[in-house]
Structure 1
Amino acid sequence: MEKRGNRVGPNQENRKPYYPRPKAPAAELKSEIVFGIQPVLEAIRAGKEIDKLLVQRELGNVEVLEFARLRGIPTQKVPGPKLDQITRKNHQGVIAFVSAINYAKLENVVAGIFDEGKTPLLLILDRVTDVRNFGAIARTAECAGVQAIVIPTKGAAQINSDAMKTSSGALNFIPVCRENDLVQTIRFLQESGIQVVGCTEKVSKTLYEADLTGPTAVIMGSEEDGISDTLLRIADELVSIPMTGRVSSLNVSVANGVMLFEAIRQRSLSV
């Protein structure tokens, strides 16, 4: 990625549009499965966005696995009965889950934000795998003006019809960037002049003490484990949401809303 002061990415004349998806009604974007060796191969060759590929263990190294590896498609080898639970049709040991959206390139999104003279507010989700939580998070993020959601290639919620429905159509309007390595992604954002702030209960400093008015990317972690230790170590700042009740944690989608709207509150006061 080319670094250009506070902007990164390819030359503007070669850059794809900042928002890569048309603003279509949620009903027009539905996830689907493709099964059978040849149909899945054709879907990959056609550039379909594949969320996940399931391959029967007994098949060995079929051609589709090599195509998936070259395209960076998350692949899992599973027993045949698991595939039979998904579809009773002749799947030939291969099922692909086609994403309901087209993923955006993070460098293009970041460059577009700076080119438009806006202050970045991005959201990074570390191992948030619940589909409905993801949809609710996307809905809140879009309402808060977040310019992109970043998810890992592995260990992320599948963006299917349930996610689309829970997001109330927000996933039609907010770019989602799928990255192979969140560590490299965070370093890229930091080199671009964007501070990375992790929300975790492991620190005493609260989000109300942090400065969220500048270019910021917020990391939210899984409900089970929170943000991974590796990402916690490289974040620029760690903050917590103060609790006064007997329950010690919030649902990740609720915590996400608290974080994002504190950033909005601070930014409205700084104008």
Structure 2
Amino acid sequence: MEKEHQIFGIRAIIEAIQAGKEIDKVFVQKEAQGELMRDLMKVLKRNSINFSYVPVEKLNRLTPNNHQGAVATIAPVSFHDLETLVEQVLESGKTPLFLVLDQISDARNFGAIIRTAECTGVDGIIVQKQGSAPVNGDTVKTSAGAVFNVPICKVEHIKDAIFHFQGSGIKTVAATEKTDDTIYDINFNEPLAIIMGSEDRGVNPSVLKIVDNKAKLPMFGSISSLNVSVACGAFLYETVRQRR
């Protein structure tokens, strides 16, 4: 984690949030006590900021400074408002292509996906505030700088984004093995949002219930799944192929 992208110390983090800094994630020491820590937790929950409990050893690795049980990462990019972005893309006259990441938690996978998204003309990437990979130095590096070129939106719930797409005339297609349709059976040549699931669980079952289509990649080996960034690349390049 790049040091200029982190804040350490409970009071410093609270002040940064209140000053409107773009906090991406906060690492909080497990079982940390005290009134100040309780204040921090209230502020994090009130502002829907992504946080996770970690052992003190992780915090010690993140910073040599006195962290008081909390280290925050500042996003190196500004996040976009979903509704505004969708409106802009629809007004531009091009066929929209959005990517929804349902709790992908590995920063390097996230970075690799952003890089492919930039190469395939994705108009925006949507992630959930809680449980998603942080936009940190690893993400920037793995994306080869593409993170600065593709708008990223953070939403409270993935389902809200899907309902918004559907209400805007944008078809939603989830990548999942739980279907008979492959990516070659789906029409990607229309306004589209592709939903990719987390590394271990795939797309959330409650999300699968509300999407317009489900699609899988044909698999011929003995291993039943691809790395999520590779699978995402296959979906995006099938979209490019159909739209050419």
The TM-score normalised by the length of structure 2 is 0.91
Match for residue 220 of structure 1? 196
> What are the ranges of 5 or more consecutive residues in structure 2 without an aligned counterpart?
none
TM-superposition CA deviations, 1:148-191 (whole Å, max 9, x none): 01111112111111110110111010011111111111111111
Match of 2:87 in 1: 111
Residue 141 of structure 1 corresponds to: 117
Aligned counterpart, 1:250 = 226
Q: Secondary structure at the match of 1:259?
A: helix
Q: Counterparts in 2 of 1:67-86, with a 5 A limit?
A: 67-86=43-62
Please name the residue that 1:24 is paired with: none
Instruction: Kindly state the Cα deviation for residue 248 of structure 1 after the two structures are TM-superposed.
Output: 2.3
Percent identity between the two aligned chains: 43
- Give the RMSD, CA atoms, in angstroms: 1.8
Structure 2 Cα separation of the partners of residues 112 and 38 of structure 1: 38
Question: 1:92 is matched with which residue?
Answer: 68
Deviation at 1:236, TM superposition (A): 0.4
Spell out, residue by residue over 1:87-119, the C-alpha distance to the aligned partner (whole angstroms, 9 max, x if none): 232122232111121111111110000111121
- 2:22 matched to 1:49? yes
Task: Check if 1:179 corresponds to 2:155.
Answer: yes
1:58 aligns with 2:33: yes
- What is the CA–CA distance in structure 2 between the aligned matches of 1:94 and 1:133, rounded to whole Å? 25
Q: What's the secondary structure of 2:25's corresponding residue?
A: strand
Aligned structure 1 segments of 4 or more residues deviating by more than 6 angstroms: none
Contact preservation (8 Å) 1:31, 1:97 = no
Q: Is the 8 A contact 2:28 2:51 kept in 1?
A: yes
1:152 aligns with 2:125: no
Question: Which of 175, 179, 195 pairs up with 1:199?
Answer: 175
CA distance in 2, matches of 1:37, 1:67: 11
Matched, 1:38 2:14: no
Per the TM alignment, residue 79 of structure 1 is displaced from its structure 2 partner at its CA by: 5.0
SS of structure 1 residue aligned to 2:71: strand
Moved more, 65-74 or 156-165: 65-74
Matches within 5 A, 1:227-238: 227-238=203-214
The answer to whether 1:120 aligns with 2:96 is yes
**Do the aligned partners of 2:48 and 2:130 also contact (CA within 8 Å) in 1?**
no
> Aligned in 2, Cα 1:156/1:258: closer, same or farther, shift over 3 Å?
same
Can you list the C-alpha shifts for 1:195-237, whole angstroms capped at 9, x where unaligned? Answer: 1000111212111111111110001112211111111111100
Runs of 5+ in structure 1 lacking a partner?
A: 1-28
